Chain A
Amino acid sequence: MRKIYYLLLLAAGATSYLSAQTPSDAILMKGNQACVLLEYSFASFDHYWEGEVKRNNQTIETVHRRSAMPMVAIGLWDNLNIYAGVPYVKTWSTEPNGGNFAGASGLQDLTLAAKYRWLNKTLNKGELVGLATLGFSTPISNYLPDYQPYSIGIGAPELSYRAILEYQHSSKWFVRGAGAYLWRGYAEAEREYYYNDGSYYTPWMDVPSAFTLEAVAGKWFLADALRVQLSYIASRSLSGDDIRSYNAPQPTNRVNFGRVGLMAQYYFPQVKGLGVVAYHNRIVDGRNAPEMITTGLGLTYFFNYRK
């Protein structure tokens, strides 16, 4: 009998990409540009929602998560960018704790994505841009998604279909809305029986698909060298069970959360192509989700890879 009562890192893992030159923002590079990004983030939580009830748990105390991710983005054409990235993730609990569990670490999921601009319209006082993103991610190491809350990822392939619409006013203010459908496949546990509102005689766990809605407002400063934005994202699973009383989460759980975020990105005028990005976000409500607080830093570098 274990006494593990864990938490999902799923929420944080699935949406940890920062919003700079990523599949989820409205920025598009030209057809001869490429960008490399190095992102480092640290996150933790000491409360979580067991179903809809918020609680803490001394078995796990505060769970920490560090992530380092290199990513490349390439402009194939002016209207089409592609992306690839893989994070390395490490998790552990503050000591002392009542569970004495080992944390986990390793390469998480490879993400590939393509972003296409289908609308680029000049209005009398600004610009309206519409984009669509297709993304695919899949685990590239043998991490165990059933080892909650320390698992470094959800362990299932994911297909994301995202639509983005951004309006930028001539005053340099912008607003953006995005909606995504995330199809998730199956995670493989290392056991052949589990309970999900009934018996399941298989190691395969159906990871609930989800949709997300995101609203962003921000402004460009310093002759477009600095961008600052506030965001709210809501994510809802389309199926799944609740974490059972004082029990560990599992990949079949229904995970919902709302998260607010603040992000700033700065391009050094003196060094062509170099930028830094910093962000901070917090999950403010949830169901079967950790109350995760995340802070991230990144370096971006643009260059022309062809004439």
Chain B
Amino acid sequence: MKGFKNKIILSVMVAFAFFSCEKDLPTYYEFQGYEFASVDPTGGNWKPILINSGADISLPTPSAPGSPAYLQEIEDLKEQVARMTEVETKAVTYWTQNPIIRWNEIALELVAKYNLIPGPNPDGSYTLPNPANPNGPPAFPFAHPPYAVRALAYLSVAQFDGLISAWHHKFAFNRDAPFVQDPSIKATYVGNIIPSYPSDGAVVASVSRQILTQMFPLEAEYLAEREAEHLRCLLLSGANVQSDIDAGRTIGQAISGIALARAASDGMRNAQAPKPVSDSIAQAALDRFGWEWINRELPQRPVGLTPLYGKVRMWSVDNVEQTRPIPPPAIGSPEYLADVAILKDFAANVTQERRRIANFWQDGLGTYTPPGHWNEFAKEFIVKYRLNPLRSARTFAYLNMAMMDGGISCWDAKYYYHYPRPIQVIDGFTTIAGTPNFPAYTSGHSVFSAAGAEVLAYIFPSEAQLVRGWAEEAAISRVYGGIHWTFDATVGTAQGIDVAGYTIEVARNDGAD
């Protein structure tokens, strides 16, 4: 009897030991380097966003492949490759020949890291993040969706312009990659043969580090480390000699300066208006419409999020008012009351599916925000359709330009109409999503998502139906969450589609199609 008991106990313990499985949790997108679907030898003639043409930035003529200087560079490269460590081999595999993907992930990671709303001080006041004192507290920046999409737009636009310039010089000078010049050099990155001077990877590394350092100043050291690692991998992969990399950095330096000059004067610095300005904006809405949005946090925040973001310079729209939607239903009107009933019904019946949708698209504090979510989708399509770095940068550039313009148009509507959130006007209403610190109409998620979906539908036509479906789900998710009216979502979706049209028009005429 005793032996029997011990056997049972032993077998239970063994069963428990086997139960303890561990999961692999991915921290970046794992994909194999791939052969590009196209090389785009005329990509250097495409129309850039910030400069007039790819030829605007000039480079010194590279040394000829047979010259002593070049042969010395090849010898140096071979020596470095011979001394490659295991860590370096892994890093080369990680960066791949489309490092736009990795720099986009680094950007999203910093957005998530800094997407923390400042809390109240002990006396109930709030301190705003200050770029002049980035350590804070609170740390600078608060990477909320308007901030995040702007950072992503400057990053992607600068990458795109830099690569157009790189492509121009690559096919003008036509110097082959080291692994082509010297068959004893083993290429890590298989596939297409693209001229290597200047290095497209070095353009991306240099531009990305500089733009992101400006946007996330506390990360300067981290970003410099990532850039150094990336630049070294370009050499170790056999794709570039040092002069290729140096030339890429020259382009990166020039484009970053131009992009950051635009950023410094685009109006973002004034977006977080002071309280008197914010109050006058609310008063104007009250006078015009008879309602105003009020922050319901405790302690109350004195100013909503970036009331003047609607005045930030747009990429493809001349005047934001061209894209302003019709007014929302008046408070108390039949249409409004019908929406109150819908919201109450959703709150009383949180189905598994509605909860899943509300949470999947929430992309709230501490995450990469809705624009980040659409960058992640773009990344997966870029790999699926094997885009080269130039076309990858083009995808991200138009995606983020359209979403930033969408955000600006949305914020214009939010503070022009100043429409209350459901918790403000429905007594005792509770939500399963957090109510943000800005007016309801229109929904930022809806505008960002529709704008993002339109650009992805343009670039990846076979995914059009899929991505437009996602955008509609993202829009309604905010209604399921209890923080938006249905008209915030539907009008916001139409607004996003409209605004994205301006950027898609630019894209159609850039020479890439």
Interface residues of A (CB under 8 A from B): 1-5, 57-59, 61, 77, 79-80, 95-103, 114, 116, 134, 136, 142, 144, 146-147, 157, 159, 161, 183, 185-186, 189-195, 198-202, 204, 206, 244-248
Q: Mark B397-441, 1 if CB is under 8 A from A, else 0.
A: 000000000000000000000000001000011111111110000
- Nearest opposing residue in chain B for A6, CB measure: B434
A142-B429 contact in complex given A1-B434, A77-B5, A98-B296, C-beta closer than 8 Å:
no
Interface-centre pick from A98, A100, A201 (highest chain B CB count, 10 A):
A100
Can you name the residue of chain A whose Cβ is closest to the Cβ of B30? Answer: A201
**Interface residue tally of chain B, by bracket?**
35 or more
Instruction: Provide a sorted-by-A list of 8 A–B residue pairs whose CB atoms are within 8 angstroms.
Output: A2-B364, A3-B297, A100-B296, A136-B16, A144-B355, A147-B432, A189-B359, A193-B367
If A3-B436, A199-B27, A206-B23 touch, does A102 touch B119 (CB 8 Å cutoff)?
no
Supposing A101-B431, A159-B19, A190-B360 touch, asked if A246 and B367 sit within 8 A by C-beta, the answer is: no
B71 interface residue per 8 A CB criterion: no
Contacts A185-B21, A202-B26 known; list 8 others, CB within 8 Å.
Answer: A3-B365, A3-B434, A189-B359, A193-B367, A195-B112, A200-B25, A202-B25, A204-B25
The answer to whether B13 and A134 have CB atoms under 8 Å apart is: yes
Judge whether B116 is part of the interface by a CB distance below 8 angstroms: yes
Chain B contacts of A195 at CB under 8 A? 109, 112-113, 366-367
Q: A2-B364, A198-B109 are in contact. Are A100 and B429 (CB under 8 A)?
A: yes
Flag if A245 contacts B119 (CB, 8 Å).
yes
B460 to chain A, nearest CB (A): 20
Contact residues in A for B296 (Cβ distance below 8 Å): 98, 100
B509 proximal to A (CB < 8 A): no
The complex places the Cα of A103 from the Cα of B28 at a distance, in Å, of 34
Give every chain B residue within 8 A of A199 (Cβ-Cβ): 27-28, 105, 108-109, 112, 368
Q: Which secondary structure characterizes the binding site on chain B?
A: loop
Most central of B118, B298, B436 by chain A CB within 10 Å: B298
Contact A247 B109 (CB under 8 A): no
Given contact pairs A201-B28, A245-B116, A114 touches B367 in the complex (Cβ within 8 A): no
Contact status B362-A2, CB under 8 Å: yes
Give the complex CA separation of A271 and B436 in angstroms: 58
Verify if B356 is at the interface (C-beta below 8 Å from A).
yes
Give A131 Cβ to nearest chain B Cβ, in Å: 12
Q: Which residues of A contact B21 (CB under 8 A)?
A: 185
Q: Does B322 contact A (CB under 8 A)?
A: no
Chain B: CB-nearest residue to A183: B20
Among B13, B20, B144, B365, find the residue whose CB has the most chain A CB atoms closer than 10 A.
B365
Chain B residues within 8 Å of A159, by CB: 16, 19-20
Interface on B for A, CB 8 Å cutoff?
5, 9, 12-13, 16, 19-21, 23, 25-29, 105, 108-109, 112-113, 115-120, 137-138, 144-145, 296-299, 305, 347, 350, 352, 355-356, 359-360, 362-369, 372-373, 376, 423, 428-437, 482
**A161 to chain B: closest residue by CB:** B16
Closest approach, in angstroms, between the C-beta of A7 and any C-beta of chain B?
14
Q: Once the chains bind, are A4 and B432 in contact (CB under 8 Å)?
A: no
- Docked Cα-Cα span, A245 to B23, in Å, equals 28
How long is the Cα–Cα vector from A96 to B112 in the complex, in angstroms? 30
Residues of A near B367 (CB, < 8 A) are: 191, 193-195
Instruction: Known A101-B430, A136-B16; judge A198-B5 contact (CB<8 A).
Output: no
**Which residue of chain B lies nearest to A104 when distances are taken between CB atoms in the complex?**
B432
Is the beta-carbon distance between B299 and A58 smaller than 8 angstroms? yes
CA A144 – CA B23 in complex, angstroms? 20
Q: Can you name the residue of chain A whose Cβ is closest to the Cβ of B430?
A: A102
Cβ-defined contact, A247 with B366, below 8 A? yes
Which partner residue on chain A sits nearest B421 by CB separation? A100
| Nearest neighbor of B112 in chain A, beta-carbon distance | A195
B16 touches A201 (CB 8 A): no
Closest 8 CB pairs of A and B: A2-B434, A246-B119, A98-B298, A190-B359, A2-B364, A58-B298, A102-B430, A195-B112
Q: How far is the CA of A83 from the CA of B386 in the complex (A)?
A: 56
A79's partner among B5, B20, B350, B362 (CB-CB below 8 A) is B5
From known contacts A3-B436, A134-B13, A246-B119, infer whether A190 and B355 are also in contact, taking CB-CB under 8 Å.
Answer: yes
Contact A191 B359 (CB under 8 A): yes
Closest to B17 in A: A159
The interface centre, meaning the residue of A99, A146, A192, A204 with most chain B CB atoms within 10 A of its CB, is: A99
| Contact in complex: A114, B12 (CB < 8 Å) | yes
B117 touches A1 (CB 8 A): yes
Is A191 touching B360 in the complex (CB atoms < 8 A)?
A: yes
Q: Which residues of A contact B347 (CB under 8 A)?
A: 102
Least Cβ–Cβ distance between A98 and chain B, in angstroms: 3
Judging by beta carbons under 8 Å apart, are A4 and B355 in contact?
Answer: no
Q: Are A1 and B297 in contact (CB under 8 A)?
A: no
> Given the complex of chains A and B, what is the CA–CA distance between A182 and B432 in angstroms?
31
A79 to B118, CA, bound (A): 56
A147–B356 CA distance with the chains assembled, in angstroms: 12
Instruction: State whether A99 touches B434 (Cβ < 8 A).
Output: yes
Do A201 and B12 form a contact, CB below 8 Å, given A58-B299, A102-B431? no
Q: A95 contacts which chain B residues (CB < 8 A)?
A: 428
Residue of B with least CB distance to A4: B434
Closest residue of chain A to B356 (Cβ to Cβ) is A190
Q: A1-B145, A191-B362, A247-B366 are in contact. Are A100 and B435 (CB under 8 A)?
A: yes
